[in-house]
A and B are shown apart, each in its own frame.
Chain A
Amino acid sequence: MNLSVRIGSLTLKNPLIAASGCFGYGTEYSDVIDIATLGGVAVKGLFLAEREGHPPPRIVETPAGMLNAIGLQGIGVHRFIAEKMPELRARGAVVIVNICGTTLQEYVELARILSDVEGVHALELNISCPNIKEGGITFGCSVHGTADVVSAVRKVTKLPVIPKLTPNVTDITSIARAAEEAGADAVSLVNTFLAMVIDVETRRPRLSNIVGGLSGPAIRPIAVRMVYECRQTIRIPVIGMGGIATATDVLEFMIAGATAVQVGTANFVDPLIWPKLLSGVERYMERHGLATLGDLTGSLDTSAREKEWISS
C-alpha cells in the first residue's frame, strides 16, 4: 500500500501532519511517539523575536471543541534553529515551519533565514491566527494581502510555500486562488473560527483575550466544506484540517479534496492518535482495494445528484 502524498516538491510518507500550535516544537512529543513516523510536523508559529503571548486563561472547552487564545507565545526563529532543529533533524522529522510576521518584511526575513537551515522541509505562512491584532490575519483576510505575502516569500525561497488560510472570510476560495496565483505550492485550511465564551455568573469572557479560535470536532463539517470548495477552485494541493479525530475524518477530508491533513486538537486528547489514524486508513484502503492513498484525494462522487438534476 502506498500512503505517500506529494505537496509540491515535497513527498510525505503519509498524509498525517501535526498541526501548528498543537504540537509544540515537536520535541515535546518525541518521548511519547516516534515523530519521524508522521508525514510532517508543523511546528508552533514562529516570529523573528520571542513572544510572551496572552495572559491565561488561554483555553476553554466548548461542546465538542475548544477555544484558544494563546497569542503565539514562542521562542523566536533563532532560538528555534539553535535549540530545537538539532533534535528534530536527529529524529528524522519532516519539519514544516509555520512563520508569522507583523509586516511583509518579517515574513521575507523569516523565509530567508529558514531556507538555509538543514532539515526544514517547507514553510507554512501563518496569515490566519485570529488571536493577535497585528499582522498575520490582516494579510490572510484579503486577496491582495495574501498575494503580497505569498509572492514576497516565493521570491526568496525554494522551499514549498504553504499559506495557512483563515475560515473567517466571506469567500475562502478567492483567498486560495490568490495564493495559487502568487506562487504558493499548496494551501492549508482551515485555521480556527473566531469565537467567544462567556461566564454568565461573572459576566466575564472565559478567555483573557475575550475572543479566541474554535477548533475540534465541532468545526469539522464546515472545514470539510471549505476544503471541498477550494479543491473545486485551485489546482495546487490542499492540506485539510479542522476537527479530525478519527481515520474516518482523515478519509472524509481527502475525499473532499485534501492531499494531506493536519491533526491538532485531537492530539491533545490522545497524543498516541497517530498510529491509530494510520492503521484505520490502511484498513479502509484494504477494504476498498485502494493501492495508492493519493487516488482518494478529490474522489467525491456527486454523480447521483447530477443525475437527479438532469432528469428533473
Chain B
Amino acid sequence: MDVAAEVLSNTHLSSDYNVLALAAPDIAERALPGQFVMVKTGDRLEPLLRRPFSVFEVLREQGKPIGVSLLSKKIGPSTHLLFDAKVGDRVQCLGPLGRPFAPVVAPDEAWMVAGGVGLAPFATLAETLRAKGIQTTLYYGARRAAELFFLDWFERLGVTLQLTTEDGSRGERGRITLPLERSLKARPQSAAVMIYACGPEPMLAAVAKMAAAHGRPSQVSVERVMGCGLGGCYSCVIPIKTSEGKPHHVRSCIAGPVFRGDEILWQ
C-alpha cells in the first residue's frame, strides 16, 4: 500500500521533535503496533531513499481510521523535511510493514521501555494492551524534561509512568534501565511480565540482557539503516544467534523490526 498521504497537521513538540498527522485510511486500518511505514519526503533526488518510521498513532474520526501520525526527531535531511512539512503537503507512505509486537494476555503485565524517539511504537501498543485490560507501565527516558512527550496521553489511557532524564529535570536522574532493573528485582518470579523496548541500540541491548538475566521475555524494536523496507536490498540486517552458534544476518524490515530480545546477537 503506497499512499500519497496529505499532511493533516504538523505539531512541533520541541525544536527538533514533531508529530506529523497523515491522511492514510488504508494504512491506518491495517497497522498493528510495532509496524512501520517507509516515507519518501519530497519528490527530489536528495534525499533519494525512503526512511522507516514507526506508526505513532492511528488517527480516527468517529471511530473510523482516517490516518496515522509519525513521531519524528530532526536528525538528517528527511527528518528536516518532515519537521518543516506544511498542512496540505503530500508525503509518500508505503506500509504498514514489518512484524508487529506480540501482545501479552492478562494477567501478564506489560512494561514498555522507551528511549527518546523510541516512544514511537508505544502509543498504539498501549492502546491495544489497555483495551485488553492489561496492566501496562511505560519506562520512558529522555535527555531532559522538555523531551518527555505525551505523558498525559499515556496517563489518561491508564498507563503507569516511570520517567528518567539525563539531567534530572524530570523523574529520576540517569538512564531508564535504573528503574527498570529495580522493578525487575522487586517483582516476584511468579508474576509474569513482558518487556517491550524501543530506543537506541545500546539501550535495547541493555534492556534485553537485563530482562534475560531476570528470566523475563522481551521484545525489542530495532532501527537499522534501511534501503527499501521490503526485503529487496539486504541493507538493514541484524545478527541473530543460530543453533549452530554462528551469527546469521536477518533483514530487520521483514524478520523484524520486532525481535525477541534474546535472539539478537548484541554487539
Residues of A within 8 A of B (CB): 21-24, 28-29, 32, 44, 52-53, 55-61, 63-66, 68, 70, 73, 216-217, 245, 265, 267-272
Cβ of B230: which chain A residues have Cβ within 8 Å of it? 24, 28-29, 32, 271
Closest to A74 in B: B234
Given A58-B235, A64-B48, A267 and B227 touching (CB < 8 A)?
A: no
Of A22, A23, A32, A59, the most chain B CB neighbours within 10 A belong to A59
Q: Contacts A22-B232, A53-B234, A65-B48 known; A271 to B94 CB distance under 8 Å?
A: yes
Complex Cα distance, B94 from A271, in Å, reads: 9
**Given A28-B231, A28-B254, A271-B228: A58 touches B46 (CB 8 Å cut-off):** no
The complex places the Cα of A53 from the Cα of B235 at a distance, in Å, of 10
- 22 example contacts (A-B, Cβ-Cβ < 8 A) are as follows A22-B232, A24-B233, A28-B230, A28-B232, A28-B254, A29-B232, A56-B224, A57-B225, A57-B235, A58-B225, A59-B225, A63-B46, A64-B45, A66-B49, A70-B235, A265-B48, A267-B232, A269-B40, A269-B50, A270-B92, A271-B2, A271-B230
Segment 37-79 of B: residues with Cβ below 8 Å from A: 40, 45-50
Once the chains are docked, how many angstroms separate the CA of A220 from the CA of B237? 28
**Complex alpha-carbon distance, A118 and B107, angstroms:** 53
Given contacts A53-B234, A63-B45, A70-B233, 9 further A-B contacts (CB under 8 A): A23-B232, A24-B231, A53-B249, A59-B233, A60-B225, A245-B45, A268-B50, A269-B49, A272-B2
Q: Does B48 lie within 8 Å of A216, measured CB to CB?
A: yes
Per-position 1/0 for B17-54, Cβ under 8 A of A? 00000000000000000000000100001111110000
Task: State whether A269 and B235 are in contact (beta carbons under 8 Å apart), knowing that A57-B225, A59-B227 are contacts in the complex.
Answer: no
Contact B238 A56 (CB under 8 A): yes
Please measure, in the bound complex, the distance between the C-alpha atom of A269 and the C-alpha atom of B233, giving whole angstroms. 11
Is there contact, CB below 8 Å, between B232 and A66?
no
Q: Are A268 and B45 in contact (CB under 8 A)?
A: no
Q: Which residue of A lies closest to B254 (CB)?
A: A28
Residue of B nearest to A58 (CB): B235
- Chain B residues within 8 Å of A55, by CB: 239
Q: Report how many residues on chain B are interfacial, defined by Cβ distance under 8 Å.
A: 28
A65-B48, A265-B48, A269-B40 in contact; A58/B231 too (CB < 8 A)?
Answer: no
The CA of A265 and the CA of B232, in the complex, are separated in Å by 10
CB distance from A238 to the nearest CB of B (A): 25
Given known contacts A217-B45, A271-B2, A272-B2, A73 and B234 CB-to-CB distance under 8 angstroms:
yes
Chain A residues, Cβ within 8 Å of B238: 56
Main secondary structure of the interface of A (DSSP, over half): loop
Asked if A58 and B234 make an inter-chain contact with CB atoms under 8 angstroms apart, the answer reads yes
Give every chain A residue within 8 A of B228 (Cβ-Cβ): 267-268, 271
The answer for the CA separation of A55 and B235 in the assembled complex, in Å, is: 9
Residues of B within 8 A of A29 (CB): 230, 232
Query: Which single member of B2, B227, B248, B249 contacts A66 (CB below 8 Å)?
Result: B227
Contacts of A265 in B (CB 8 A): 48
A44-B234 in contact (CB<8A): yes
A23 to B: closest C-beta gap in Å: 5
A28: chain B residues within 8 A (beta carbon): 230-232, 254
Q: Closest CB-CB distance, B40 to chain A, in whole Å? A: 6
B46: A residues at CB distance < 8 A? 63-64
Interface centre among B2, B227, B236, B238 (most CB of A within 10 A): B227
When distances are taken between beta carbons in the complex, the residues of chain B under 8 Å from A268 are 49-50, 227-228, 232-233
Cβ contacts under 8 Å, A56 to chain B:
224-225, 235-238, 249
Chain A residues with Cβ under 8 A from B92's Cβ? 270
**Which residue of B2, B49, B227, B249 contacts A52 across the interface (Cβ within 8 Å)?**
B249
For the complex of A and B, the 4 pairs showing the least CB-CB separation, nearest first, are A28-B231, A64-B45, A268-B228, A59-B235
Give the docked Cα–Cα distance between A138 and B26 (Å): 49
Contact B48 A61 (CB under 8 A): yes
A140, B247: Cα distance in complex, Å: 31
- Nearest chain A residue, comparing its CB with the CB of B226: A59
Q: Chain B contacts of A44 at CB under 8 A?
A: 234
Query: Which of chain A's residues have a CB closer than 8 A to the CB of B249?
Result: 52-53, 56, 73
A66 touches B48 (CB 8 A): yes
Instruction: Mark B96-138 against chain A: 1 for CB-CB distance below 8 A, else 0.
Output: 0000000000000000000000000000000000000000000
Chain A min CB distance to B80 (Å) = 14
For the complex, give the distance between the alpha carbons of A29 and B229 in Å: 11
| A57 CA to B231 CA, complexed, in Å | 16
| Cα–Cα distance between A133 and B224 once the two chains are bound (Å) | 25
Distance between B36 CB and nearest chain A CB, rounded to angstroms: 15
- Chain B's nearest CB lies how many Å from the CB of A12? 21
- The complex places the Cα of A59 from the Cα of B232 at a distance, in Å, of 13
Bound CA–CA A217/B46 (angstroms): 10
Q: Which B residues are CB-close (under 8 A) to A70?
A: 233-235
